[in-house]
């Protein structure tokens, strides 16, 4: 089975721009979660999508948004980029047989904001 | 608010020595606790979770609710155990919304 894929792997943007990151979950997985990883704050939960609906949301400003498509692929968007948004963005997918399914992580997208 | 604390950023042990990676948490309720591992140039992956009560690659972790700890232990460290280890928690039934600790970089010396 192919793992979680994320595109692009690397991205450079300037302040004020917006960016869209993509995540393709493992085939059959219906839940996708997004995390931000920075040296200062570590790994922080952004949001989770299941069946095209946002189920959980972390403590991030409204500039961070996401969506999920009917094929379970997910995108996250960051508008009006700030220097502090430079981070590794990870997505993870899981089955939804019950609440305790293992998450499988992608390789991440490295976003640099100049 | 829920929090996970890993007091050691770096930990070095010699091959064959016991290793313990510390994890303490604060959570008002019954959490689920996990250990994730990231080997060099690999993805973050689940190592073990407290509800499974299993030993993976020789590692075990016991949830101590009285001390709010979930320390990771291995009696005899191997060089291939060198990696970044993250302790994480979620509320029960919501393993997709994890709160991570800051991680411990374990180095096993030959």
The C-alpha of A6 sits at a distance from chain B's nearest C-alpha, in angstroms, of 12
**Which chain A residues are closer than 8 Å to B46 by Cβ?**
102-103
Structure tokens at B100: 């991570």
pLDDT digits (tens, 9 = 90+) for A72-84: 999 999 999 999 9
DSSP state for residue B59 in the 8-state scheme = B
CB contact under 8 A, A56 and B51: no
How close, in Å, is residue B66 to chain A by CA atoms? 23
Check B100 against A105: CB less than 8 A apart.
no
Average pLDDT for residues B56-70, to the nearest whole number? Answer: 91
B97: closest chain A residue by CA: A45
Report helix, strand or coil for B46. strand
Which residue, among B49, B51, B23, B26, has the nearest Cα to B36 in the 3D structure?
B49
Instruction: Please choose, from the candidates B36, B43, B32, the residue with its C-alpha nearest in 3D space to the C-alpha of residue B59.
Output: B36
A 10 A CB-CB count for B42 gives 11
pLDDT at A98: 54
As a whole number of Å, the end-to-end CA separation of chain B is 41
CA distance B44 to chain A (A): 6
Average pLDDT over residues A48-76: 94
* pLDDT reported for residue A55: 86
Mean pLDDT of all residues in chain B?
A: 92
CB B70 within 8 A of CB B33: yes
pLDDT at A99 over 60: no
B3: pLDDT strictly greater than 70: yes
Tokens 């943007």, located at residue: A13
Residues found in chain B = 110
Whether A100 sits inside 8 A of B51 (CB atoms) is: yes
β-strand pairing of B72-74 with B45-49 = unpaired
Radius of gyration of chain B (CA): 13
């Amino acid at each position: 089975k192919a793992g979680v894929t994320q595109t692009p792997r690397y991205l450079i943007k300037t302040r004020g721009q917006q960016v869209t990151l993509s995540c393709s979950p493992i085939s059959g997985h219906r839940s996708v979660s997004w995390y931000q990883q920075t040296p200062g704050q570590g790994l922080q939960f952004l949001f989770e999508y299941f069946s095209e609906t946002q189920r959980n949301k972390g403590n991030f400003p409204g500039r961070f948004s996401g969506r999920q498509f009917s094929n379970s692929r997910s995108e996250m968007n960051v508008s009006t980029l700030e220097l502090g948004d430079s981070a590794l963005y990870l997505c993870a997918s899981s089955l939804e047989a019950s609440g305790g399914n293992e998450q499988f992580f992608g390789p991440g997208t490295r976003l640099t904001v100049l | 608010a829920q929090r996970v604390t890993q007091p050691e950023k770096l930990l070095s042990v010699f091959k064959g020595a016991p290793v313990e990676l510390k994890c303490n948490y604060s959570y008002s309720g019954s959490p689920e606790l996990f250990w994730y591992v990231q080997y060099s140039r690999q993805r973050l992956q689940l190592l073990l979770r407290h509800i499974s009560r299993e030993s993976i690659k020789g590692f075990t972790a016991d949830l101590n609710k009285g001390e709010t700890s979930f320390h990771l232990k291995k009696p005899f460290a191997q060089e291939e155990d060198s990696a970044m280890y993250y302790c994480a928690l979620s509320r029960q039934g919501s393993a997709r919304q994890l709160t991570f600790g800051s991680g411990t970089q374990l180095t096993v010396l030959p």
